[in-house]
Amino acid sequence: MELDTVASLGEFGIIARITKGLPAAPAVSVGPGDDAAVFLVNGSSVSSVDVLVEGVHFRRDWVPAEMLGRRAVAVAAADIEAMGAYQAAVLVGLTVPADIPVAWIDDLAKGIRLECEAAGAVLVGGDLTRGRDVVISVTVMGETRGTVPVLRSGAQPGDVVAFRGRLGWSAGGLAVLSRGFRSPRALVEAYQLPQVPYGAGAEARLAGATAMIDVSDGLIADLGHIADSSQVCLDLDSARFDVPVPLHAVAAATGTDPLRFMLTGGEDHALAATFPLGKVPLDWQVIGVVSDAEPGVLVDGQPYDETPGWDHFRH
């Protein structure tokens, strides 16, 4: 059996496969197929780009193409959530080796479409090019619909710190895969595909969130951005973290404190925010308080004893 590759179908053949059957959307007056996409923005535009690189953010043998497509959109869409804004449109810049099977691209495109749908955004355009490694660049454009975005800089002493979504699951899954295992399955799947709590960003804004961020690099690292921008101290209470069952197993197997996964593991794209006392939505988990102590992030009143978070050029 001869396998179709992107080289045999060509750039325009592939683009036609990806864009075929895309749903129409009332706000989109020009979708894929012209020089640029045109869509109506309600309020201000809220936009962010995230790039996933093979060998850095993922290995093709660890993440099925459909999951990867979903993840690429989820990672960028999480930034729109973190502003408390509404999802609108997605552009994808895709670089692939010429010998990649068309079936892989089809699966990736399916994942991109599915996650756009889950997020409430429309795929409006993209660019396809060749390269040595798979590189997926996703731009998500949202809209404020006349509301005021939640920035990193609004946290106030007296606020509480809370999160919604998952913490440490993806890092746990990576620890599993790195050791050559495929279970606990729930963690591996969490690594392959973050569960962004779509809609929770707007929910937090409506409830009165004073600052918000999505946890991409690790909770302590990302709350550090809120601490810096707001010039406040965020003191987390370790007793308030419920360690998920599958994390206990991996922590035991790797000799790690399970809390470490939750405090420093990135890529789950939970939302973390500060709220005035008494304003936290029901489905958010309160994990700490904001004070006027020296700006930074503490755990049980102490600095956490390991360089947290992820710097792409230092690992």
For its own copies, the binding residues in 60-89 under the rule CB under 8 A are 79-80, 82-83, 85, 89
x/- map, 32-51, its own copies, by CB under 8 A: -xxxxxxxxx--xxxxxxxx
Least gap, CB of 304 to its own copies (angstroms): 18
- The answer to whether 267 contacts its own copies (rule: CB under 8 A) is no
Residue 301 per-residue DSSP state: T
Instruction: Determine the Cα–Cα distance for residues 217 and 167; give it in Å rounded to an integer.
Output: 11
Nearest to 218 by CA among 137, 159, 297, 119: 297
Instruction: Determine the Cα–Cα distance for residues 200 and 82; give it in Å rounded to an integer.
Output: 9
- Find the part of the chain contacting its own copies (CB under 8 A) among 63-71, 123-131, 202-210, 237-245: 123-131
Applying CB under 8 A, among 87, 139, 264, 274 the residue interacting with its own copies is 139
x/- map, 294-313, its own copies, by CB under 8 A: -----------------xxx
Residue (52 or 259) nearer to its own copies, CB? 52
Helix 65-81 and helix 200-207: axis angle, to 10°? 10
3-state secondary structure of 156: coil
- Find the part of the chain contacting its own copies (CB under 8 A) among 54-62, 180-188, 232-240, 273-281: 54-62
Least gap, CB of 221 to its own copies (angstroms): 10
Least gap, CB of 38 to its own copies (angstroms): 5
3-state secondary structure of 246: helix
Peptide bond into 184 cis (omega under 30): yes
Applying CB under 8 A, among 74, 121, 175, 212 the residue interacting with its own copies is 212
- Find the part of the chain contacting its own copies (CB under 8 A) among 166-174, 209-217, 245-253, 297-305: 209-217
Instruction: Determine the Cα–Cα distance for residues 248 and 257; give it in Å rounded to an integer.
Output: 9
Least gap, CB of 16 to its own copies (angstroms): 12
- The answer to whether 174 contacts its own copies (rule: CB under 8 A) is no
Instruction: Determine the Cα–Cα distance for residues 268 and 194; give it in Å rounded to an integer.
Output: 5
CA-CA-CA-CA torsion sign (214, 66, 169, 163)? positive
User: Between residue 101 and residue 120, which ones bind its own copies under the rule CB under 8 A?
Assistant: none
- The answer to whether 199 contacts its own copies (rule: CB under 8 A) is no
Q: What are phi and psi of 212, to 5 degrees?
A: -155, 150
